[in-house]
Chain A
């Protein structure tokens, strides 16, 4: 491991994060909420630390895969910690653990919050929470790649570290160009949602905060009752649409913008994604209708679809307390938490693509029982998938399940009830936000113990970075010098 090369990139990332704090500082100044100084102070700390790491580091031009993993993991941690400083300095979040939890939950686009009385918080802080989502959304690393190949960072390795698995349908040969294109789509969609929400009656400030949180599939709201606080069908439907788009592979959006709208339906993953969403909606809406939870059919469908999309895309907004819904809804939402969005989207979880591949692989195994001599290859999007890739995905699944079980075990070991432990693990590992039990949609994570919060922080980062990226650093080989 070339630690000094890693340091230089980390320094750069901290610098960018510190610079981005000027935005919430400006928002604070505009609204006069008195938080501007704490943002500036945190920015100075960030710049100082960043500069120290940059100048203490060495040329990062020839970075290899193993450094890439370290950069991504440590980068997320470092940026997350720095992002917690302003709220801690200003005293809005008194404990450092809480401040770091909130910030890392933001940067990992989880949306799990420890804040109560959100409406009473300063505009600067609310904006910063949304911005952490937005920056985290497509990945600070992709952002860095898009803006500055000045580092000469070996982009390939970073991109691989960012999204392990068979993603990155390369649009253009150069990775930084790809990143820029996708970032453009991201910005465009955010802008569109902001406009739509403003038209639907939100204040501009809240519209932009919700738009950033939606596109990142984050889930921080500016209200205690999340999107439900607005009680507006128009807002709900707008957010449903954009959550859905944010959970779709951004490459498809780009292709659609260049005129290839058919690319959506031509994509195996997208079709599967839509199918799962529709099926899940049916499974939730029917019992809701039977028990008559909402007064009208339209309202039932709206809340049902909203919650399904919010959970599956790992956004985690809420319009209704789903813990009061029939139990089958809980079970289904728990399953969808693990599924997550499409590969190449900002959603977390296992990813639709992986599940689709495994479903196909399982079907092949079944087929082999009927045709023992069959030589079958897995096909995905019209191409044969190499076997080692399926092994990679199987490995991912195993690790995901192991980490999941580990999380539940550790939390129950500390005395949490099973429902809360499972809910909290699923909601953080899948980067969703609200879980079940004591961390359900109407509760928050404030009452958890400090060590429990750090466990969840680990789960958030591990989940966000697709398990492998973090766990590979546990291998001693990854740290050897050569």
Chain B
């Protein structure tokens, strides 16, 4: 498959690495020779030094046989123009990275020819917000415009469900608890059944409506504490989006950045945040600013090591919930052991989203679940999908996958054995790597190629 990526910045670089690793023919277009040289050192793909909006340059690359065109530079305008140009030149799927809210919202409708608008900073900021507001939460995802939420939470030793099997839990609580679609235990993901016993320190993935999921959290983590004060390290796009989000939810925000210029910009954009020009590993000033009294501490700076370090610092001083931005898999696995509550890896999930989008037409969206290769996939069914019309009980669904939620027009349903899927429904599927291929067969329309 031929893939053209415009922009070799952090997002573009990761995407190129991700895709070239899985045997795709990747062309990386970048205007800045220095940035391009950096990418050349470690990536196996074709490199072209050109402006991504230049029709001449794009024509030279040849887009008629291009299956995926992804414009992921820092500039919205370049990405949009570049995608529109690619559309005219015949590229098949066009993906634009868009930061500006306005473009993002209208991205799908206004600009015909752009198939997917993605905003990694934005999405990550929203995910962090969801995690911050829920004690014990590790990961949070939204599907179907927020109608379905997936929240991963740690099981507390003295919580209601610890030591009980899922069957027991369902008997006791009935509809009051959301479906547990996946459990991560000692770094391994499993798809639970009725006999699975929940243990302390398991991470359970609740799936359902927002209300149901939030209510369920009490059973695994009884102490749901309010969020009043949050400190954010990194006055970048993600940090500022998060700050805006939190401020509008009446949370007091302190935002920390070592760069005076970025601080100035932040203070001119965030009215009610306190912007502090402090190096995030500089202990004393952070202590003076009450790092220990924070309900939430979020590190989303550029430097991953600094993020981890400052989260540890916050933890040690007594910050209650810590969320850290890291993209390196080996770090992510370390974080729970270090006492950091949640890790956010926007670049990985962006690359994943785009890569997934390439593969299958029926997939509406996809998220990587932790770092074990398990995935959450959202499928839309049509008449020819094999799963349509048969009760789930009789479907013969593989044991290493599970349907977490069914999104029908009139609302979200928790799937049961007697549930029958209809054309137009959407399903949220949790699948282990071993079950991915088997799952596809149920939902991909028979007529379409893979």
Q: Which residues 266-292 in B have Cβ within 8 Å of A in the complex?
A: 266-269, 271, 274-278, 285, 288-289
The residue that B275 contacts in the complex, of A372, A375, A379, A382, with Cβ under 8 A, is A375
CA distance A372 to B260 in the complex (A): 13
Given A379-B271, A384-B269, answer yes or no on A373-B264 (Cβ-Cβ < 8 Å). no
Cβ of B263 within 8 Å of any chain A Cβ, yes or no, is yes
> From A379, which residue of chain B is reached at the shortest CB distance?
B271
Judged by a CB distance under 8 angstroms, whether A366 is at the interface is no
Could you tell me if A375 and B264 are in contact, using CB atoms closer than 8 angstroms? yes
Inter-chain contacts of A372 with B (CB < 8 A) = 285, 288
Q: A382–B277 Cα gap in the complex (Å)? A: 23
* Contact bitstring B255-267, A, C-beta under 8 A = 1, else 0: 0000010011011
Of all chain A residues, the one with the shortest Cβ separation from B278 is A373
Cβ-closest chain A residue relative to B272: A379
Nearest chain B CB to A366 CB, angstrom units: 13
With contacts A371-B289, A382-B271, A384-B269 taken as known, whether A377 is within 8 angstroms of B278 at the C-beta atoms is: no
| Interchain CB contact under 8 A, B275 and A374 | yes
**Of B271, B276, B288, which one neighbours A375 at CB under 8 angstroms?**
B276
In the assembled complex, the Cα of A184 lies from the Cα of B375 at a distance in Å of 65
- Asked whether, in the complex, the Cβ of B264 is within 8 Å of the Cβ of A377, the reply is yes
Binary contact readout A345-379 vs B (1 if CB under 8 angstroms, 0 otherwise): 00000000000000000000000000111111101
Question: A384 contacts B267, CB within 8 Å?
Answer: yes
Bound-state CA distance A379–B269 (Å) is 10
Complex: chain B residue closest to A384, CB-CB:
B268
Contact A373 B268 (CB under 8 A): no
Contacts of A375 in B (CB 8 A): 260, 263-264, 266-267, 275-277
Q: Are B271 and A371 in contact (CB under 8 A)?
A: no
B276 and A377 within 8 A (CB) = no
Q: Least Cβ distance of B281 to chain A in Å? A: 14
The chain A residue sitting closest to B269, CB to CB, is: A384
Q: Are A376 and B275 in contact (CB under 8 A)?
A: yes
Partner of A373 from the list B266, B271, B277 (CB cut-off 8 Å) is B277
Q: Contact between A374 and B274 (Cβ–Cβ < 8 Å)? A: yes
Complex: A476 Cα to B289 Cα, angstroms:
50
- Which residues of B lie under 8 Å from residue A382 when comparing CB positions? 271
Q: How far is the CA of A382 from the CA of B270 in the complex (A)?
A: 10
Q: Select A371's contact among B264, B268, B276, beta carbons within 8 Å.
A: B276
Separation of A167 and B135 alpha carbons in the complex (Å):
48
Chain A residue numbers with a CB within 8 Å of B285 are 372-373
Give Cα A374–Cα B260 distance, bound, in whole angstroms: 10
A371 contacts B267, CB within 8 Å? no
Residue from B268, B269, B271, B276 within 8 A of A374 (CB atoms): B276
Distance in Å: Cβ of B148 to nearest Cβ of chain A = 35
Interface-centre pick from A373, A374, A377, A379 (highest chain B CB count, 10 A): A373
Size class of the contact patch on chain A: 10 to 19
Bound: A379/B274 CA distance, A: 13
Return A445 CB to nearest CB of chain B, in Å: 47
A-contacting residues, B149-171, CB 8 Å: none
Kindly name the residue among B260, B274, B288 whose own CB sees the greatest number of chain A CB atoms within 10 A: B274
Task: Number of B interface residues at 8 Å Cβ cutoff, please give it.
Answer: 16
Q: Name the distance in Å between B234's Cβ and chain A's nearest Cβ.
A: 14
- Name the distance in Å between B270's Cβ and chain A's nearest Cβ: 9
Question: What CA separation (Å) do A377 and B272 show in the bound complex?
Answer: 10
Closest Cβ neighbor of B262 among chain A residues? A375
Q: Which of B267, B278, B288, B289 contacts A376 (CB 8 A)?
A: B267
Alpha-carbon gap, A275 to B245, bound state (A): 31
Contact partner of A377 (CB less than 8 A), chosen from B268, B277, B289, is B268
Q: Cβ of A371 and Cβ of B269 under 8 Å apart?
A: no
**Which residues of B lie under 8 Å from residue A373 when comparing CB positions?**
276-278, 285, 289
Nearest A residue to B260 by beta-carbon distance? A375
**Whole-angstrom CA separation of A338 from B19 in the bound complex:** 69
Q: How far is the CA of A375 from the CA of B276 in the complex (A)?
A: 6
Bound form: Cα–Cα A302–B192 in Å: 77
Cβ proximity bits A372-398 to B, threshold 8 Å, 1 near / 0 not: 111111010010100000000000000
- In the complex, residue of chain B having the shortest beta-carbon distance to the beta carbon of A377: B267
By a CB distance below 8 angstroms, the chain B residues around A384 are: 267-269
Q: Across the interface, which residues of A come within 8 angstroms of B268, CB to CB?
A: 377, 384
Task: Give CA–CA (A377, B285) in the complex, Å.
Answer: 20
Contacts of A376 in B (CB 8 A): 267, 274-275
How far does the alpha carbon of A373 sit from the alpha carbon of B284 in the complex, in Å? 12
Min CB distance B276 to A, Å, is 5
A373 to chain B, nearest CB (A): 5
Question: A372 CA to B288 CA in the complex, in Å?
Answer: 10
Q: Across the interface, which residues of A come within 8 angstroms of B263, CB to CB?
A: 375
Q: Report the minimum CB–CB distance from A9 to chain B (whole Å).
A: 39
CA distance A377 to B271 in the complex (A): 8
Please measure, in the bound complex, the distance between the C-alpha atom of A24 and the C-alpha atom of B294, giving whole angstroms.
72
CB distance from B376 to the nearest CB of A (A): 39
How far does the Cβ of B176 sit from chain A's closest Cβ, in whole Å? 44
> Closest CB-CB distance, B279 to chain A, in whole Å?
10
For the complex formed, measure the closest distance between the CB of B256 and the CB atoms of chain A, giving whole angstroms: 9
- Measured between beta carbons, the chain A residues less than 8 angstroms from B266 are 375
Chain A residues with CB under 8 Å of B264's CB are: 375, 377
Q: Point out the residues of chain B lying under 8 angstroms from A377, CB to CB.
A: 264, 267-268, 275
CB distance from B164 to the nearest CB of A (A): 48
List of A residues within 8 angstroms of B260 by Cβ: 375
**Nearest chain B CB to A66 CB, angstrom units:** 31
A117–B267 CA distance with the chains assembled, in angstroms: 59
Min CB gap B1→A, angstroms: 47
Q: CA–CA, A372 to B275, complex, Å?
A: 11
Question: Within the assembled complex, what's the spacing in Å between the Cα atoms of A371 and B266?
Answer: 16
- Complex: how many Å from CA A406 to CA B63? 76
A384 to B270, CA, bound (A): 9
Please indicate the chain B residues that have their CB under 8 angstroms from the CB of A374 in the complex. 274-277
What 0/1 readout, one digit per residue, does chain B (230-267) give for beta carbons within 8 Å of chain A? 00000000000000000000000000000010011011
Q: How far is the CB of B434 from chain A (nearest CB, A)?
A: 51
Q: Which of A371, A379, A382 has the most CB of B within 10 A?
A: A371
Separation of A384 and B266 alpha carbons in the complex (Å):
10
| Alpha-carbon distance A376/B274, docked complex (angstroms) | 7
Q: What CA separation (Å) do A372 and B276 show in the bound complex?
A: 8
Q: Closest A-chain residue to B275, C-beta based? A: A375
- Interface centre among A373, A374, A375, by most B CB within 10 Å? A375
Interface string of B367-391 (1 = CB under 8 A from A): 0000000000000000000000000
B289 neighbours in A (Cβ, 8 Å): 371, 373
Output the least CB separation between A302 and chain B (Å): 40
A350 to chain B, nearest CB (A): 25
Provide the bound-state CA to CA distance between A47 and B269, in Å.
54
Nearest-neighbour CB distance to chain A for B257, whole angstroms, equals 9
Minimal Cβ-Cβ distance residue in B for A385: B268
Which chain A residues border B276 with CB–CB below 8 Å?
371, 373-375
Q: Which residues of A contact B269 (CB under 8 A)?
A: 384
User: Which residues on the B side are within 8 Å of A371 (C-beta)?
Assistant: 274, 276, 289
- B278: A residues at CB distance < 8 A: 373
Mark out the residues of chain A between 150 and 201 whose CB falls within 8 Å of any chain B CB in the assembled complex.
none
Nearest-Cβ distance from residue A388 to partner chain B, whole angstroms: 14
Q: Which residue of A lies closest to B264 (CB)?
A: A375
Alpha-carbon distance A377/B268, docked complex (angstroms): 6
Nearest Cβ in chain A — how far from B264, in angstroms? 6
- The residue on A at minimum CB distance from B286 is A373
The 3 nearest A-B residue pairs measured at CB: A384-B268, A375-B263, A377-B267
Chain A interface residues (CB < 8 Å from chain B): 371-377, 379, 382, 384
Interface residues of B (CB under 8 A from A): 260, 263-264, 266-269, 271, 274-278, 285, 288-289
Show 13 residue pairs from A and B whose CB-CB distance is below 8 angstroms, ordered by the A residue: A372-B285, A372-B288, A373-B276, A373-B289, A374-B275, A374-B276, A375-B264, A375-B267, A375-B276, A375-B277, A376-B267, A377-B268, A384-B268
Having A375-B267, A376-B267, A376-B275, one finds 19 other A-B pairs with CB under 8 Å, namely A371-B274, A371-B276, A372-B288, A373-B276, A373-B277, A373-B278, A373-B289, A374-B274, A374-B275, A375-B260, A375-B266, A375-B275, A375-B276, A377-B264, A377-B268, A377-B275, A379-B271, A384-B268, A384-B269
